[in-house]
Structure 1
Amino acid sequence: MPPPMTSIPLERYPGLPPLFLDFARGASRFHPDPPTLDAALERGKAILSGGRRRLPVTAFRFRSTAGRRAAEDLAGGRAVAVLAGHQIGLFTGPLYTLVKAFDAILLARELTQRGLPAVPVFWALTDDHDLEEIAKTAKPGPDGPQSFVLEGADRSNRRPVGSLPIPGAVSRIVEAFRKDGPGEEAAEILDLAARRYAAGTTYGEAFIESLLDLTEDDPLLVVDPLEEPIAQAARELFSIGLERRAEIGQTLRQTALAIEQTGRKPAVPFREEVFPFFVLEDGIRRRVEAAELEEAGSRVSQGELGVSADVLTRPVLKSVVLPVAASVLGPSEIAYHAQSLTLFPIFDAPLPVLVPRTFLVVRGAAERRAAQALGVADEDLLAPRAAAREAAVVPQADRVCEIAQRLDAEMATLAPEVEALDPTLAGALETARRKAAYQLEQLGERMRKAAERKDEVALARRRRLETMLLPGGEPAERVYPPIVFLRIWGGGVLDAIRSVAGSGGREVRIVDADAAADAQPKRSRAG
């Protein structure tokens, strides 16, 4: 049974690009296809009958006999691909990377059920050089999110990260995670992550094996663009781009202008001098200067230089080497596809149907209780709030203070009458007056302290809620890797996420992970 859940309007998800929101509302002139199963079905049928280029079985990484059959079906032209992809982040990167894989798996299954054989494929961005982004991770801490970055992870790196070895300091990060989530299953989860991300293992190998661990119940295929079948296709695409660079430049310029005329900003600013490919020379990924394009083209054709597609030509390369019926994408990816899609006809590549990934908020009983106590509705779970302390307003204490002042004034008016009645009672009246004022003052102070303690509890609850759901103002699925959620709720959280896969682009799904964990038998993923 699927876990209980509600949803949040997509517009309440922080930081979504306007071009993506246009697409999600069906109002984008730069994205020709609706993100529907019917559109993917029709596109897949057309692609499958076209007899296009195919990758060999050896180009795919997979687990199980079902995975091999899927690879054989793609290589044999008997199936289309439903593609997802992302950077090869530490511990598979933020949770939404895994969510994209689950989306591709579900969509491929649904297309197959409707008569179009489809296979989920994940494109691991091993040729990216952004080590600063890839070699970082985070986990919830007592005072907010704790971030970790491996040494050497800075913007100066120009080598494709897929072939770089993971440094020894990764063990310290693993140990920091180990302090959380006690229990046998939590220990197994961390042990597996430690084995996959052992020092000396390459970032690419660790990512691919970990992703296959997390999707082991499904025949997911993974491709590595640094491997020769795709590397060769990239070199060929570079040569075609060189021949048609004037057309490419004109197309990108016109598209950027058209986007600006709608009041939006192009996701990738147009620069006349930039050729939309990198070359790989002596292990370094770099742009090609305009003055050296011809020479670079000659060296590429002779195999002296490798080629890596950039953010605009990578989608084209994917559709050149794979029969992509549908591509599962995040909001920023869909935004830059507004420019990338215009390049597909130039390279004679079929356009895939773009499908937004699923957006998630994963919570448990502690988060539900905190939200309820704070009066935070589900639709406001992703609304950032200031955690700054404000002075507590305690009307009850103020009222006691007013009563004390009135009582003091009334007792003061009694002094002449009491003294006239019996002069010896004057001292007793003054004592009673001081004691009453003191007792009421103490009562008011105790009431204020009680309110402060309550305020402290509220601040702690809010801090906990934001740490788990909106760390640093970012949705948790964009910050924490899957092992954070696995260590809190166990393997059942993966089933909970699978149960809502395929719902992207319309709303943000709230998954009650503890309900799923309680309903599912414990399963070890220790390998």
Structure 2
Amino acid sequence: MRISWLTTHFDADRGLIKEMTSTDYYEFPSSQPLSEAYGKRTDSRLDSLLHSGHPSVKQAWLARAERLDQSAGMRVPASNAAEALRSYNARIGMSPETESQLDVIEQGAYVVVGGQQAGLWTGPLLVIHKAVTVISAAKHASSILGKPVVPVFWIAGEDHDWDEANHIAVSSEQGVRKLAVARPEGPRTSVSRTALGLEAWEAAISDLEGQLSGSEFKEPMLEKLRSWIGEGVTLSDVFARILAWLFGKEGLVLLEADDAALRRVESPMFRRMLSDNDALEAAYAEAGKQVQALGYSTQAAAVPGCANLFLFRPESQGAGQAGDRVLLYKRDGGFTDKKGEAFWSSDELLALAESNPEQFSNNVLTRPIMQDYVLPVLGAVLGPGEIAYWAQTGEAFRRCGMEMPILVPRMSFTLVEGTVAKHMDKYGLTFEDVAVRFEERKQAWLAEQDRFDIANRFAEVKREFTALYEPVVELAAEVQAGLKALGTTNMNKIVEQIAFLEARTTDAFRKSNEASIRHWDRIGAALWPAGKPQERVLNMTAYWNRYGSSWLEKLLELPYDPNGGHRIVYL
């Protein structure tokens, strides 16, 4: 059963919001009240925190473009940014369309940016959804402004949480299986600096191959993946090459946050973040108080004394080896790591930021400012959690003489395959049934199939037997007190035997409905795996394996939704 919702559509030519009927929309439950209020525009008080306007308002795009023009001198020169991006995109495999977009960036074009941590085979589907939103929002902004707007995907390869990046989940007829690669021995450094051996990559592809069903697209996809792996290749390398392959025709420009060429153009901002750190810390704290004063929770903890910058420890770097990535804290006029094992004076780090900026990286609170320093960002595509913590950065933007870009809620999708849709129709299930009450509906359906009323009839037998047998036990106890324990034990054994027969009968009943139960399990695993939204668990490779590029083309053809929104897409 498909759900029909009334949604809104932005008319770029007339600058109006008009209503249109769209099928297969679903109001996705949100765990972020602030993000939900921003997306739906239900709390005007947020305007003071998120101060560049909402993407559904035409004037917001025009005003942001004007402010970017006025502040051009405060950013990295467009030619320098384009040069760094060009060298990286050429290295990972650049399409002609992306090369053209880099020429446009060099000429000073605005961008729409979204990003995600690099992960195995692109990680969960939400990464794909974010890239689709970046591309759609850039086209939308371009139609309003009448000039090119470039889609850019910011790869957060600088993150060092290997356990978040090293695995995917693939759904098949056999259920959902997790595939992972182990972190090689060495320092706790960024994902982009953690090189994998060829044997580990080959094992990862073998695992993937074994989980995917046979199809006309399987071998070409696996061959493409094999062409990108090798000794010393990182998760970030392959992540970028897949995105370039998937979205090259759309002209998506990729940016690796941990790329040395990019770090060199970021050097002045790292120096500023170090020298002005106390003021930035106060700005984050003040914005956090503002968020709480409006009745919302802060998403990112502004820890007192934290510099909100990471350092790849110079002393832990051996020849050709990446060093540990540690979060910096302020102490005695200088900086230390969390455990206080090392100390750097302010002058030392300022000099290092100038000579070796690749040894620094941002955290979630400083990354938005660095992004705005490097590129003329019209809009930043963000998920619910990201919007919530970006609300804590407004004061820091102001402190740096900047203004926050338009926050663009990420669009999200649930992909429904034909077989799954047929199963849902057969059992009368809506998407909401699957998302909210799936196990309840499944058990109710099973109960309806039980024309024998197995559970109740066995329960009745147990009650009747116990009622008949207990008086006999009491009689035996009257004859001899010691017989009561024997009688009770005997009665319990008989009840256990009845329960055993009930279990065997129930099992036989379930086997008679085995095919239908598999249908139910397939629905759950495909749409709401492990009790979570599909986009947060499943990987794109299973869909590419079954449908080639058609599933992605469907997403790219959908109209842009400035409110984010969740759509059910039938393949």
Indicate the larger mover: 325-334 or 145-154. Answer: 145-154
Instruction: Report the CA distance shift for 1:448/1:152 in structure 2 as closer, same or farther (over 3 A).
Output: closer
Larger mean CA deviation between 233-242 and 353-362 belongs to 233-242
CA drift at 1:336: 0.7
Match of 1:360, SS state, is strand
- TM-score with structure 1 setting the length: 0.80
- In the alignment, is the contact (CA less than 8 A) between 2:151 and 2:251 conserved in 1? yes
* Aligned-residue offset at 1:479: 1.6
Q: Which moved more, 1:472-481 or 1:356-365?
A: 472-481
1:464 to 522, 526, 533: 522
Identity %: 21
The worse-fitting range, judged by mean Cα deviation, of 360-369 and 54-63 is 54-63
Q: Where does residue 485 of structure 2 map in the other structure?
A: none
Match of 1:80 among 110, 113, 131: 110
Residue 349 of structure 1 pairs with residue 371 of structure 2: no
Q: Distance in 2 between matches of 1:397 and 1:360?
A: 41
- Equivalent residue for 1:188? 220
Write the letter of the residue equivalent to 2:329.
E
Give the corresponding residue for 1:210. 242
Counterpart contact for 1:8–1:508, Cα < 8 Å: yes
Q: Choose from 422, 435, 449 the match for 1:369.
A: 422
2:191–2:235: 8 Å Cα contact kept in structure 1? yes
AA of the residue aligned to 1:380: D
Match of 2:195 among 146, 158, 165: 165
Structure having the higher Rg: 1
User: Which residue pairs with 1:490 in the alignment?
Assistant: 548
> Do the aligned residues in 2 keep the contact of 1:121 with 1:222 (CA within 8 Å)?
yes
Rounded to whole Å, the distance in 2 between the matches of 1:229 and 1:40 is 30
Asked if the contact 2:98/2:248 (under 8 Å) is kept, the reply is no
Once the two structures are superposed, residues 486-525 of structure 1 have per-residue CA deviations (whole angstroms, 9 ceiling, x without a partner) of 1122221111111236336443101111xxxxxxxxxxxx
What amino acid sits opposite 1:74 in the alignment? Answer: I
Distance of aligned partners of 1:467 and 1:301 in 2 relative to their CA distance in 1, 3 Å threshold: closer
Please say if 1:96 is aligned against 2:149.
no
Aligned to 1:290: 330
- Secondary structure of the residue aligned to 2:360 is strand
**Aligned pair in 2 of structure 1 residues 479, 194: CA closer, same or farther (>3 Å)?**
farther
The aligned residue for residue 461 of structure 2 is none
Q: Which amino acid aligns with 2:543?
A: F
Contact 1:374 1:458 in 2 (8 A): no
Deviations 1:208-265 (A, max 9, x none): 1111000122111111222344313443223222332232222222222232333322
Of 291, 306, 323, 1:259 maps to 291
Residue 51 (str. 1) matches residue 72 (str. 2): yes
Inter-CA distance 504–103: structure 2 relative to 1 (3 Å threshold) = same
1:288 counterpart SS class: strand
Question: For the aligned residues, what is the CA RMSD?
Answer: 3.2
In 1: Cα distance, 2:353 partner to 2:233 partner: 32
Pair 1:20 & 2:35 matched? yes
1:500 pairs with 2:558: yes
TM-score under structure 2 length normalisation: 0.74
Counterpart check, 1:221 vs 2:253: yes
Where structure 2 has 5 or more consecutive residues not aligned to the other structure, the ranges are: 1-21, 336-345, 458-504
In the superposition, relative to structure 1, how do residues 378 and 474 fare at CA in structure 2: closer, same or farther (>3 Å)? closer
Deviation of 1:455 after TM superposition, in Å, equals: 4.8
Output the CA distance in 2 between the equivalents of 1:323 and 1:10: 31
| Amino acid in the other structure paired with 1:58 | E
Question: 2:278 aligned with 1:277, yes or no?
Answer: no
Tell me the secondary structure at the aligned position of residue 339 of structure 1. Answer: coil
Change in Cα spacing, 1:51 to 1:264, as seen in structure 2 (3 Å) is: closer
Q: Cα gap change, 1:375/1:149 in structure 2, threshold over 3 Å: closer, same or farther?
A: same
1:267 counterpart letter in structure 2: Q
User: CA-to-partner distance for each residue in 1:411-450, whole Å, 9 max, x for gaps?
Assistant: xxxxxxxxxxxxxxxxxxxxxxxxxxxxxxxxxxxx9899
**Cα 1:394/1:72, change in 2 over 3 Å:** closer
Give the 3 Å change call, closer, same or farther, for CA 375–350 of structure 1 in structure 2: same
Q: What displacement does 1:451 show?
A: 5.9
Residues 130 and 157 of structure 1 are in contact (CA less than 8 Å); yes or no, is this contact kept in structure 2?
no
- What amino acid is the match of 1:109? K
Q: Matched residues in 2 for 1:504 and 1:87: separation?
A: 23
Kindly tell me the number of residue pairs found equivalent between the two proteins.
Answer: 465
Q: Match of 1:98, as an amino acid?
A: I
Q: Which of residues 7, 15, 31 is equivalent to 2:50?
A: 31
Displacement after TM superposition at 1:90 (Å):
0.7
- Listed as ranges, the gaps of 5+ residues in structure 1 are 402-446, 514-527
Give the whole-Å Cα distance in 2 for the aligned partners of 1:49 and 1:165.
Answer: 42
Structure-2 change in CA distance of 1:397 and 1:161 (3 Å): closer
Counterpart-to-counterpart distance in 2, 1:231 and 1:214: 26
Secondary structure class of the residue paired with 1:140: strand
Name whichever of 276-285 and 451-460 sits farther off.
451-460
Please list the CA deviations of residues 89-109 of structure 1 after superposition, one character each: whole Å capped at 9, or x if unmatched. Answer: 111121221221222122222
Matches within 5 A, 1:439-458: 452-453=510-511, 455-458=513-516
C-alpha contact (below 8 Å) 1:80/1:323 kept by paired residues: yes
Q: 1:379-420, CA deviations, whole angstroms, 9 ceiling, x for partnerless residues?
A: 334226338968846675469x9xxxxxxxxxxxxxxxxxxx
